[in-house]
Structures are given as structure tokens and as C-alpha cells.
Chains A and B, each alone.
Chain A
């Protein structure tokens, strides 16, 4: 009895704090939603109105007029899925080797991976572009996908994850004569599902919002993902806020849906990859 009372006493202030924080956190996004329904004139009016004078849905239509939204949506989905699938497989393989197999040069190789993790992304930009160009891949899906298939971060994350798994099952399998790949594929990988899911969701999110690289390699609007397509909405410095907001919302919505639908797995995954070294 006393314990529940004490608990009650803690819960209420916790709710107050959390709710306050949540309101502050969500406010800018609510503002984004409201602005997306205002007319351009109203959006620049001073002082600003909170609720739209009348709910103007035409901004959403304008997004479709200004960019080939459907096409770019498909591009984004394909790009994000391919990058994610490739990263999951390749990172898991490398991560398993780093976590479980001993071989000469492992430390040095791992250091090489970590080095990539620490390099500012802009450092790769120009040489990567030149590679794409010499392969004749500019304005193509390959250009969007291929460099994003490899991830030092993913390898690091999954390695931590594998290191946290109990070794006994794998030991047993290996005593039965299974080779390391079989052990990896049959035993370690299924155990690593939460970690894979976490990495998968993270990669998916990052790919979805990735902007700079697509802008550089794919200039054809039909080959762009949504992020780049929307950036072209900012065609000039007099940005039409309501349309930009509408476009961004449309582009962000699928990601929010994915997160909301899978947040339990996401959090479980992070918990396991949970950085218990």
C-alpha cells in the first residue's frame, strides 16, 4: 500500500514534466502543420495568426504541381530499402567477424572502419562524385544507392551487439563442425534480430532524409528522392513557407508512420545493441 502511494506521488510530477517537455518538443511541428494550411499572404502576416483563417488545402496540391511527387516518392522508397537491405547484410557479416573471429590484422582493420566513422562526410563528396562519373552512374538509382550500402557505423553497432550475445550456442555449433559462416547465418544472425532491426530503422531514416548526396549526383527531377525534390521547392530565397511546409510534411509522414509502427522493436533493438560493450 505504502509503496503504491509513494509511486503515485512520483508519477504525477513526472507526467507534468514529461507533458510540458512534449508540448515544447512538438510545438514547432504543430506550427509546421498549421502553416501548411495557411495562404501565402497569411503566412507572412504580422503578427502571425495561430490557426489558419480558412483551411487552405491548395498548398498540398501545389507540392504535386511543383515536383513529380509520386515518382520521387518511389525513388525514395527504393533507395531507402536497397540501402537498408545491403547495409544489414554487409555490416552484419563484417561485424560478426570483428566480434567473434580472430585473425591477424583484425585490430588494424577495425581501426580502419572506425576511422571512416570519424571522417566528416563532406570529405568524401568530391572523390565519390568522380567515381560515380567515371562509372557513368550520374542521374541513376545506382548513384543514390551504392555508396550508401556500406556503413562503418552499422558495423560498429552490430559488432557491439554480437559481443553482447552469449557465446555458448555458437561454441556448441562449432564443436559440431559447423563453419563460421554457418554459425553466423544459422545461429548468430537470428539472435541478432533486434540489433538488425534497430540498424535497419536507423538506416532507413537516414536514407530517407539524406539530402546533399542526391542533390549532387542526380539533377534530373525524375531521378531525385523527395528530399532533393523538396529542396528545389526552395527555388529562390523568397521561400513560399506554406508549400514548403506541406511538402515536408508529406515527405516526413511515411517515416513517422514507420517509426510509430515499429518503435517497440526499435527500442528493443537499441537496448540490445545497447552499447553494453
Chain B
């Protein structure tokens, strides 16, 4: 879900970071000594190295407000985070508080690995009204809330002004439709120079999870029982990308994009437009040369306007020895102060309502309001109890259609079968 440049981290850490107070503090002592001032030690599991400075800063802020409490931010790199977390949960040694994402949430919640969080009463861990509703519901399972939204990402169309100027094409704006995207991408493509109009990779969050709802299609039924990959409208949303590659020849081929990531092509100035999630803004901003050349506009609309909304959440491990302290920490993380602090680092948009502005304001060269306004037409991120399993399938099958090895119909019909089978297994509780 996360893509980011180290430059961002370097920039961020010189901006605001101070080293974490080296803490091997007092060992876990769950005894509460008076209201709100519990002593103890918490571990906080995260996977993004670029957000570590921000997370450590926030943790230190929490420690300061709770003398006798230490928080240890534990980084597990992307590749092994989920493997490691699952094994740790099985053995009872997971971090007290950790990051969660949409595709994995269902599995953890369903298996009772997460601590339910109060959303009302005298001391709620979160108030639903403080966060975008789709994000709150992404982390609700069978009517129970398990996660406090941490950040969110929306998708928008990033473009290279230099290439537009050279081709004498007007910059994209909110009025663009798919047809405008296609026509202009063709005009921007300049094969002699190795420049392409737009990147059409097999990316879920950035590409087809947006175009599918834009075309009026769907990925998974609301009851999480059926795959939507055979729906005509869904196919329309997928065909956009395939056509951009093969029919309009305005995108690099899938092989080219496998060899060189489209985001990287965009950074090196050979791609005029790319669909990017908001977390890449900081990456683009960190590159001085690039910063001056690029900007952002809303995604062109199909039948309707839509962006898939995804965001991480902070969750508590069900078997933490310190449930009360963990609740306090998670409440703090979702609070206004921690959210504003997080936004200042620029690496993620804080999920709490009304705290996103500093994120956009930190990079004034870009029209980042586009990413924030996208919340108005956001659609929830497709998920089920074991989303990770079928998302694996969907990229694999769709890649065959993108590359032209299979027709879209062939690929999606195999995909529908495979996904429905996995969903059926999910219901039987097999994994």
C-alpha cells in the first residue's frame, strides 16, 4: 500500500525529528496508579520506514504526557510485516498496538485477534463522527469497531507540466472525462522521445479500484459473497487501461512498466500523467527538480466520479497484557494533537476530521486540495475476511489480460471463479 522515497524521510527527520529518548524504561507493570497515570511499557508495530520518525515523535509526545510510560516503535519491513505479525499473534507475542490495513483487517478481526474499541460511553477510544465514515466502517467487523483510522489516501491524476507545454495540451482539470484522458494521452505520447501519455499498470488502489466504480462496476458484493469481475460495467472499468496500452498506444506496455515502475517513469520525466495515491506527494515534493514540474488534478470521470478510499488504522492486540494503557495510547494517536503532528511530517494525511490541512499546506506548490476534496466522492475499499488471498489472484489474472496473453473476458471469467471459490472457503471458515 505504501510507496515512498527515502528522501522524504531524510527531509522529514531534519524538519521535525528529535531522537527517541533511549528507553528501556520500567518493565511491564500493569498496576494502575491513579486515574490516567498508569506506568508501563508498550510496543507499537509499524511497517513503513519513512513514517518511523513521525511515529517516534508521536510516541515521545505520549510518553511526555504519561510519566512512567515508555513506547517502543518497532519497525518490521513491508515484506515480512504480515508474516511476522501472524506468527506473533499465533504465539501470543504481537505488539500491544500495531498498524492494520484494509486487505488484512477482516482476517484479524474475524479470528478475535483484535481488541474491541468503545465508540461511545464516558471514555470512548474513538468517536465515529471524528473520522470519515468509510474509514471507520473499513475497520468495523460484524458491528464491532476494532480500529482507529490513522491516515487516509485518495487517488488523483498527477501530471508533468513540461510535457504538456511541449505538446501544447491544456493541463487536466475537474472537467476531464475518460475521453479527454484518452485523446490527450495520445497527443502527449511521443514515441521518438520515449514519452508516453499515461501509465496504465495493474495497480489496484491507484488504477482499477477507481476506474471500476467510475464505470459503475463493482469488485465485491456488499454481502461479501460474490465477485463482481463478470459484471459488464466492471469490465468497462478494466478495459480502459487495456485500451490505453493496446488500442490507443498511449501507455507503456505492461512489460515496460514491470521493468520500470510507472511512478519512476513519471519521476524521470518520460510519463506525462500517472494515477497516484496521496502518499506519493511527499516523494515528489522532496525532489527539487521534479517539484517545479509537476502538479495534480482530480481523476477524469467515467459514468461518475469516484476514488477508492483507503487508510491505515491503529489496532490493539487482543492478548496485550496492558489493554487499558493500549487504549489510552490508541486514543491519543487518533486525537487532534497526534494527528496534527503526523500531518506535519508530510508522509501521510491524518484521518481525523479537520487535521488534514497542515499536510496540504506543507507542500504549497501542489494543488493538494484535490486529494482532500476527493473524500466527497470516495468509495470504500473492497474487502472481505481474507481479501489478501483474492487480491493476489486478481492481479495475477488481470496481468494476463493487460499483457494481451488472454482476452479480458477469459481472464475475468477465470478470476471470477477463483475469487468466488475463495469467498466460499472464507464463509466455511477455511483458510
A and B touch in the complex (CB under 8 A): yes
Interface residues of A (CB under 8 A from B): 40-41, 44-46, 62, 65-66, 126, 129-130, 133-134, 138, 215-216, 219-221, 228, 231-238, 240, 243
Q: How far is the CA of A96 from the CA of B50 in the complex (A)?
A: 51
Residues of B in contact with A, size category: 35 or more
- Asked whether B267 lies within 8 Å of A235 as measured between CB atoms, the reply is no
Q: How far is the CA of A219 from the CA of B13 in the complex (A)?
A: 22
Which of the listed residues A45, A62, A215, A219 has the most CB atoms from chain B within 10 Å of its own CB? A219
Q: Looking across the interface, which residue of chain B has its beta carbon closest to that of A130? A: B91
Q: How far is the CA of A166 from the CA of B83 in the complex (A)?
A: 51
Residues of chain B within 8 A of A235, CB atoms compared: 2, 4, 6, 47-50, 77-78
Q: Does B232 contact A (CB under 8 A)?
A: no
Cβ-neighbour of B5 out of A126, A228, A238 (below 8 A): A238
Given contacts A44-B264, A216-B84, A234-B79, 5 further A-B contacts (CB under 8 A): A46-B268, A219-B74, A219-B84, A232-B49, A236-B48
Least CB distance, A93 to chain B, in whole angstroms: 33
Residues of chain A within 8 A of B9, CB atoms compared: 65-66
Q: How far is the CA of A219 from the CA of B52 in the complex (A)?
A: 14
- Asked whether A44 lies within 8 Å of B268 as measured between CB atoms, the reply is yes
Interface residues of B (CB under 8 A from A): 2-7, 9-10, 13, 45, 47-50, 72, 74-80, 83-84, 87, 91, 93, 194, 260-261, 263-264, 267-268, 270, 283, 287, 289-290
Residues of chain A within 8 A of B50, CB atoms compared: 235-236
Q: How far is the CA of A233 from the CA of B77 in the complex (A)?
A: 8
**Interface CB pairs A-B, < 8 A, 30:** A62-B6, A62-B10, A65-B13, A66-B6, A66-B49, A130-B91, A133-B93, A215-B80, A216-B83, A219-B45, A219-B74, A219-B75, A232-B49, A232-B75, A233-B6, A234-B79, A235-B2, A235-B6, A235-B49, A235-B78, A236-B48, A236-B49, A236-B50, A237-B3, A237-B261, A238-B3, A238-B4, A238-B264, A238-B283, A240-B7
Q: Looking across the interface, which residue of chain B has its beta carbon closest to that of A229? A: B77
Q: How far is the CA of A129 from the CA of B89 in the complex (A)?
A: 13
- Asked whether B261 lies within 8 Å of A232 as measured between CB atoms, the reply is no
Residues of chain A within 8 A of B287, CB atoms compared: 40-41
Which of the listed residues B6, B76, B84, B264 has the most CB atoms from chain A within 10 Å of its own CB? B6
- Asked whether B75 lies within 8 Å of A238 as measured between CB atoms, the reply is no
- Asked whether B5 lies within 8 Å of A240 as measured between CB atoms, the reply is yes
Cβ-neighbour of B49 out of A46, A219, A233 (below 8 A): A233
> Given contacts A216-B83, A231-B77, is CB(A138)–CB(B264) below 8 Å?
no
Residues of chain A within 8 A of B10, CB atoms compared: 62, 65
Residues of chain A within 8 A of B4, CB atoms compared: 235-236, 238
Q: How far is the CA of A233 from the CA of B80 in the complex (A)?
A: 13
- Asked whether B87 lies within 8 Å of A234 as measured between CB atoms, the reply is no
Least CB distance, B93 to chain A, in whole angstroms: 6
Residues of chain A within 8 A of B79, CB atoms compared: 215, 231, 234
Q: How far is the CA of A51 from the CA of B86 in the complex (A)?
A: 45
Least CB distance, A216 to chain B, in whole angstroms: 6
Residues of chain A within 8 A of B2, CB atoms compared: 235-236
Residues of chain B within 8 A of A62, CB atoms compared: 6, 10
> Given contacts A65-B13, A130-B91, is CB(A236)–CB(B78) below 8 Å?
yes
Residues of chain A within 8 A of B290, CB atoms compared: 41
